[in-house]
Structure 1
Amino acid sequence: MVTARDDVDPFAAMESLRAALDQERIVLPSLGVDAGSPALGLVELGRVRADVAMRLAEVLRRGGDE
């Protein structure tokens, strides 16, 4: 069975990701912690519009630098 790393809290990871995305003015409306598999510590990214996916890809390509 695969288990989450003990040192990474999925709720903290989700909030950290939300804050980083917010700095880039990117909102993932479905971002949350997957409560269905708590042992895995999964963060659910959810679905986004195509334009948001493109914006996220642009930010990742440039490394978050304006």
Structure 2
Amino acid sequence: MNECAYGRAKSVEECIAELGTALRAHGITLPSLGVDPVTYAGSQPYTLVALGNCNVDTARALAAVLRTAAEEGRADG
């Protein structure tokens, strides 16, 4: 793996870990969270993060966290 590819791989893995940690802090786990293999292997400079599938309860919990964050953001602004 060349230096650029290594840097991209490390950056994507760090991003996924950071997102996973933030979600878990709110009691949310996306079981399929990972790297989109097609964009990861491609020549494009941007690798996509695959959020994957989740059940309805997890989707509702994620929506609730995002709604609360949006409301808090409006209250602060």
Name the TM-score class by shorter chain.
0.7 to 0.9
For 1:9-48, list aligned pairs within 5 A: 9-38=11-40, 39=44, 40-48=46-54
With the length of structure 2 as denominator, give the TM-score of the two structures: 0.66
List structure 1 segments (4+ residues) > 4 angstroms apart after TM superposition: none
The correspondence for 1:55, drawn from 53, 61, 67, is: 61
User: Which moved further from structure 2: 30-39 or 19-28?
Assistant: 30-39
With the length of structure 1 as denominator, give the TM-score of the two structures.
0.76
Structure of larger gyration radius: 2
Distance in 1, Cα, partners of 2:16 & 2:66: 17
In structure 1, what residue type is equivalent to 2:31?
P
Give the drift of 1:35: 2.0
Which has more helix, going by share of residues? 2
Any gaps of 5 or more consecutive residues in structure 2?
1-7, 73-77
The letter of the residue matching 2:22 is: A
Q: Distance in 1 between matches of 2:51 and 2:61?
A: 15
Three-state SS of the structure 2 residue aligned to 1:46 is coil
How many residues align structurally?
58
